[in-house]
Amino acid sequence: MSDDYIRSVPTDPGWQPEPEAAAAAVAYVASLFSGPGDAVDEVKQTFYDRVTLIDAGMYTERITCPLCAEDISMDWLDDLVRENGMSLDQLDVAVPCCGAVVELNTLHHEDPIGFARFEVSALNATRVEIRT
């Protein structure tokens, strides 16, 4: 069985919390999976020095342009991120479809990805479906 991560990132890609706030975020995420029948293997925080692609792993499949709605190839994004060593200091890029300059985190992804300097991840988290 493969591991399944839920990855949470701030809405501001460059923002990082203070250590106490990061610990509170970890505790909050852990609390979401602490009910009867819930489970989570691990909840942890990660700080990144630079803005980093937080991808959906093997679930990252299709990207479309927010302006012209054309498909953008995954290879284009992979190359862009790889050229920058998995980190990006600025998110404004010219997209290959229509040449417009857009923020990378406004591209439409079939499965969500993000760009961040901080994340809280939950490994193999499950919740009982019905709550009263």
Q: Binding residues for Zn ion, per CB under 5 A?
A: 65, 67-68, 95, 97-98
Q: 81 vs 93, which CB is nearer to Zn ion?
A: 93
Nearest distance from residue 95's CB to Zn ion, in Å? 5
Strands (E), the chain: 5-8, 42-54, 63-64, 71-72, 92-94, 101-103, 108-109, 114-123
Place of tokens 């709605």: 69
Q: 85 vs 99, which CB is nearer to Zn ion?
A: 99
Nearest distance from residue 9's CB to Zn ion, in Å? 24
| Contact status, residue 54 vs residue 127, Cβ threshold 8 Å | no
Q: Cβ-closest residue to Zn ion?
A: 65
Nearest distance from residue 74's CB to Zn ion, in Å? 15
> CA–CA separation, 73 vs 95, rounded Å?
10
Q: 95 vs 116, which CB is nearer to Zn ion?
A: 95
Q: 65 vs 122, which CB is nearer to Zn ion?
A: 65
Sign of the Cα torsion 8, 14, 17, 18 reads positive
Ranges of H-type helices in the chain: 19-31, 74-83
Nearest distance from residue 100's CB to Zn ion, in Å? 6
